[in-house]
Structure 1
Amino acid sequence: MSTCGDVMLKVCGVTRQEDADAVRAIGASLIGFIFHPASRRNVTPEQVRAIETHRLMRVGVFVDQSPDEILRIMDKAGLHLAQLHGDQDAAFCKKVGRNRVMRAFWPERYPTREALETDLHRYEDCSRFFLFDAGASGGGHGRSFDASLLKGLCSLKTWFLAGGLGPHNICEAVCNCDPCGVDLSSGVEASPGIKDHAKLTALRSALDGLMRNPNQSCCGEL
């Protein structure tokens, strides 16, 4: 997969071919599609199947579906990963498939760093990636959180930082917690589900600046 500096880039909430092309042009590694009817970025498996993404890893975001429904959608849409953005337990993740799960967590839910890490360990054997988002649930709301809370999570799975990220704050966020990857949605949009190509270009420029002055990255397994 391609990377921007030491940080993998995932752009989520894509609904159109032209935006998928723009995401690929800035050197992203992963592209995300929302399968949640309550979201303004919701898409159908047929829509996603028709979007050409070349070598990008294709990720579906799921909240309420059963494991069987997720697997059916993944097959229809041609997805590589299921981003489980609800309260799915470890048994649920195993049904989807250990190498096919990106499990979301909300650090602000936990009273201490130790409590978060205890929960993470429960999912190490049934997930491929972890993702940390702002708030207590959901995502795509444009809210950020104190990313320094995650500094030093290098012994865990390969993990992505999400939550209110955009060209204006991506460098600060990366320096604060040294993630393996970043996940952006509303911060690079013109409107929900419509990407702003100028913001995507600005994001690439910001990440290129980090590449010229790289920080040591600490990533787990791929």
Structure 2
Amino acid sequence: MFRIKICGVTTVDDACAAVQLGAEMIGLNFYAKSPRYVSPEQAQVIAAEIPQTTGVFVNASAEEINGIAKSVGLDWVQLHGDEPPELLADLRSDLPIIRVRCLDERGVGAIADDLEACRTRGREPAAYLVDATVPGQYGGTGKTADWAALKNYRDWLGEIPLILAGGLIAENVAEAIAVVRPDAVDTASGVESEPGVKDAGKMQTFCEASAAAFGKEDVLP
């Protein structure tokens, strides 16, 4: 399982820099309305140059997800929209699925209910990514989630890995890791100079802070 994921990468240079600076997973966004969108053709070029990629999808069909995953050679897929639990059963069985849920006024109970629905009507996700809630937006908002509400996530996720996202930057990621103790962290806007354009300095400080907080001895791969 990866620990540091940088999402919304749009160029080969940014992807390679992110990996060199310590990111273990690169997210490629296939949601056409996102400023971080990449076409499958662009994604193929990026994926060929880096070790691991996750494809980010928002309310796409299983046919589209499976097709892009195959053509690009994705290692993971991330469902970042309002996909029904049944969709998970229609995805390729060899593709690990990251199920994204936003922490809203319903609290963690809604995420626990979603996990049960996936288990009974679809397929158990390989990991859950918890993001902050911003109505009408699917990630990359820069808003932080309620870390304290996630402190006891093992009670409802069990051994399923938790990826923490939402407004994480170099200056707050250590605190977030200390409070939540997630299995991994994810950032997009937190390491950008503008939407879709990564900043090498921000990526470096984010990866360094994350690695230190996770207790890694070596910051650079």
In which range does the TM-score fall when normalised by the shorter chain? 0.7 to 0.9
Residue 33 (1) aligns with residue 31 (2):
no
SS of equivalent to 2:174: helix
Offset, 1:47: 0.4
Please show how residues 40-189 of structure 1 align to structure 2 within 5 Å: 40-51=35-46, 52-56=48-52, 58-98=53-93, 99-108=95-104, 110-124=105-119, 125-136=123-134, 138-154=138-154, 155-189=158-192
Structure 1 residues 147 and 211: CA distance shift in structure 2, 3 A: closer
* Superposed CA offset, 1:134-166 (max 9, x none): 115511111112112111222141120111111
Does the 8 Å CA contact 2:101/2:131 hold for their aligned counterparts?
Answer: yes
Structure 1 residues 114 and 29: CA distance shift in structure 2, 3 A: same
Residue 196 (1) aligns with residue 199 (2):
yes
2:5 is aligned to 10
Structure 1 segments unaligned to the other structure (5+ residues) = 215-222
- Counting matched residue pairs gives 207
1:218 is aligned to none
Identity level (%): 34
1:220 is aligned to none
- What is the alpha-carbon distance in structure 2 between the residues aligned to residue 9 and residue 165 of structure 1? 11
Q: TM-score, normalised by structure 1?
A: 0.86
SS of equivalent to 1:132: strand
- What is the alpha-carbon distance in structure 1 between the residues aligned to residue 216 and residue 70 of structure 2? 41
User: Which structure 1 residue ranges, 4+ long, deviate > 4 Å from structure 2?
Assistant: 211-214
Give 1:50's aligned amino acid. Answer: V
- What is the alpha-carbon distance in structure 2 between the residues aligned to residue 64 and residue 32 of structure 1? 17
Please show how residues 203-222 of structure 1 align to structure 2 within 5 Å: 203-211=206-214
- What is the alpha-carbon distance in structure 2 between the residues aligned to residue 62 and residue 85 of structure 1? 6
- Aligned-CA RMSD value: 2.0
Give 1:81's aligned amino acid. Answer: W
Q: TM-score, normalised by structure 2?
A: 0.86
Structure 2 segments unaligned to the other structure (5+ residues) = none
